[in-house]
Structure 1
């Protein structure tokens, strides 16, 4: 049997006799809550008590009382020296934490401080009221004495008509009050004097008493009641602060005043600065007008513009004048005004060395002649030789005279300079081999020199060879309109040998003689200006430019602008690799310190400060971007047509390349017959062979178009033409060439049917298949090849076949097109003479509307 079953069960009874009930644990009451500016509110609050029980005598649970009955909460026993509370039997209630104890102590301290501040404020108020009453009594006494002495009759009449309630007060002073009633009476008197305009009618309703505003610690006490004259003049009283409502009212009045001025139509006239182009939004901002009003004015003029659309200067000027503003026209090109400075006076000019460019065929000894001239330099022998690391250098003769040579490979840099208007070359030395005579690149050099308008000195090289024939060279020069002195002309010729180093001194004398005839002079005592021979970007040195000073002197520390770039001269290096402090006219020098890399042929000029250099650089970069955006497409020929139609162009420069000499002569003769008194076609250069980089450079420098008759441009020339926006036209019929040039001269545009280039494919391998023929295994190198398009077969950049594409396969499947970088198989219709290395050109014929 269980132990619980053996013990008898006790009945469930109460620990205390009486009824089972819950005592009230919520005490309700009302508390008056005060707010700023004298406002108060009565709220009802409830206080919940927490009943706590603790074990008492005999194991009974006894309720723990928080405070002794009959004592207020403030006087409840607080055990400050112990951490716990005990009841009447000594039992502990609970422990107080350090935070609770500190909070209670701070609350008691704050309550005592608030009571002290409140008592001090009441004492100050009573003192002020007593002082105010005393002053007012004195004032009334002085008024009564003045009235009694000056106007006794008026005083008596006033006393008779005065109310009965005020008579006793006028007859005799009030009796002294007891000290207990002195403070309330003083406060009442102060309240009455603060409101002198309030009517004291019998039975008037008393003003409601305002509750005292609690004073916060650390906050200045606010003024209560109305401000009197005495309080305003009291220096001890605090200064009156402006309220937020007063500030808002002042702002509202100012806003209403501005609106009233606008409604009355008072117009503000402004000085509006108008550049070459300006947007509608910017124009409205500069005039301080609404953008919608500006758009409405444009619509009245018949111009439909948006807020972000650009306007020209004339239209913006008309709009600004319509709104009544003063106009100031400016141009962005004004930053370049006076950049090059004034012309030098003749008395300040000094003789300078000539600048010579050596040109000629690459196999005619041009490099050997340059090496021979460098080794004959006196300064070179003294210094132990020259290390040519820049594109220009100076040679000093035994007599002390100097000659500056520009060593530019090919003709690219020479024509780049001339294309930008920087004609830095004074004399051209044309090197011709005595055994070979005039070659293709020699003719090109003659064309370049004639286009630049500089004198030419012919150096007949390789005179040490047994088959040298200088007379044949002179005869061949006559075909290119160069008449030497031996035949009655004015062109100097010198027979030299770079290998044997013969007659080099005669060549230098001829150069100096020609320079003496040109009278080359410059002013060294001015800011430097000149041209950029070449520029490059080197690791560790940044942008390095080779400059040729034409006038003035450049020094270390100068700020200069080169093309669209600017910089400060950090170092100057001459042609021998030595650091120098300055460089004068006709002296080549390397410059370090540019912010970017300029183009060959750009002009450079030293400016006064960095700010102007930045402005010029930004303007030129902006102009360059606009020019590139305007000529982004391949529309050079169309633009040329429009210029001819507008009367801006009188000559049409053309570069002609053909496959055979007979076709070239026929095309040149046909173009010559098209010329009239007003316009004409000018053939700058005509030769046999494919289109190369020299042809593209010459066309870009002269603004010409290139005509290719049964020839094509090599990849380098195509890339250069695409970059420089040079238009290349391919033809296979002479009549089409003549018709297009005639249309250009008469102001018409391109023909109605035009070729559209698709792509190039190179034949990698040829497969012979029975019953089909030869199949070309190709790799598409550029663009795309489409089935059904027309094709041309090129061998060494010469067209050998033109026809249609028979089949286009990729692996074993017929495909519609093959893009760049993929292999394919192609076959031609009725043509099988294909070889490895041939190039297939794919094109389409498209129709274009003819515009007059």
Structure 2
């Protein structure tokens, strides 16, 4: 065995061989509580690179020292000393020493690798900054001296010098290898920082793939294997991130921020303001958060807040007035050359049960009246009829009940011709007279249709004479108003009525421009369960197409579908055509104008402006101060009858609210907590429960969930399909809410002369009846100097020692009063009867 082999300690029981690359052994570790652990220790021999027969030398990258002399007597001389020292140490101490020294060496190697990595990163950043500065200087110089392009490229051409030097040094470092280490660890020598590192990611990945066993070779290795090094992918990602940061910085410097003129109305959403400023909505939200406003991009902000945001982002604000936001319909007049003939719009008006819907049914050839509850039209119906001559006529059918006055006025305002239907067997009724007034106010021509001439008691001349009282002179009486005697039931003279309509249409010549954005008026609106908000719209001018963006009242929308009166899908609708429009954001009010706008932003802006104006109008009637509010409460002592109203269409709900306001008195007033179009929902039931109010459903019903909650909470549903039944029922409930009327009748007065004790606690009053009569059990008031002391009843009456039922005027008696002993001589006892009468509104 040679001296080199003797210097290496033997780990375990197996001796280390001469030509084995890896030697392994086991080290047994002992812990508390009898626990042990075996650690495998491996010794790897480093690969030696050099000439055959020559002793390898340690390689250093920066300044390699001179090679040591070939003879090595000193190690041979130290061998006995080392061997003796190892012999004196026990096996366990040797193992612990090796492990401790290995751990210290590993920590030192990791620290050295970390410092080297930090230094390399700093140097790399400095080199990249220097290259960037040279590029910018070269670009600036090229702009100043375009005649010398070669000189501008010199700084860039010199930059690859450093990598070339690093490449020239790499073969030297690779050609040499470190000297073989002895088993005893040696403190690693600090090396100078290389100019250009040459990472070997493949080697690092291979080493990381090895097992997690701690070996002496890995612990003592001076390379990067002792510490975690960044992978090549991580380095590429870091460089790409730095490059993007530099490029973005250059872009921002190259493109200065533009200042825009931002048009801001009184109310605008954060996202819409961001779009007009060409900024990110999230940036505006952050700025508002810093100002203390917790908003989202979809919330609406006022003009002052928008102005602060616009100025903060460096833009200029342009205020717009209310007239700029609102759509100007009156000033938008079509030229005469663009107008084309359109079908006339005819509205049928008259008293209830005079045959309006039956007449329209005969003209259409369909049965409309059977679909109405109780034979009464509850809302406006719109239809277009094609007559035998091929011409089209649009008919509007209005309700005749007194509650639908607003509907009749609305129908008269959107029509070209009014047909006044009057029954020949009846007189002019209040709704007929009201229809005449609406027609005169709107300034449209009138045609009188005297219906029910087939009846035996019919008297058309009576209707003509009664019309004279209201300044309506028909042609038969030398006037200018056409009159036609018809029978809707028998179909008599319907052709004459059509001819009268066509003649009147030729006189007025209805025209409109179809080649423009559509405008129309909402005849009726409702909330359909499957289709959402649906509006019946009469197109006044222009052509409405599928996909158009519009604003109607306080709502906006996009035309998703259009249907005619027969339920047929339409792609476009021209003037005078009644259609059902789907795609609204909410249920509009009857009478609202529908206008097509250029984009969705404009529609939302106008709708938001109108909502704001409606809110201001509602709040304008509220008390201006707290004192005014309390004074208003003191003046209005009427009992409130809360109620929730849900109807099938907006016109019916409007009529119900108007009728409830009319039946209100000074004693009790109907208070509509909520009204809406559509079925009764859970939220309606919760609101009614909180206010202890009934829910009135007009042609609608509650869903299953709402019925379940109502049954559990005790909320009442009241369903109606005829409006005057609803009004009568609510009128009775309001009267019952007040309770029966209490009527007091004074029947006698007596003066207290003396007071006597009666029993242990009670007192008896000696009375002199001044007028009337005193009866046992009557209600009584005890007055002292015209001030009521107590209200009581007469418990007993006595004359001399006898109990009596009554005492008349001029007689004296003794009386015991119920629940009162505050009796003094001189008091006046007033006795009265109480009668409860049923209250009637």
- For Structure 1 versus Structure 2, the TM-score category normalised by the shorter chain is 0.3 to 0.5
TM-score (norm. length: structure 1) = 0.44
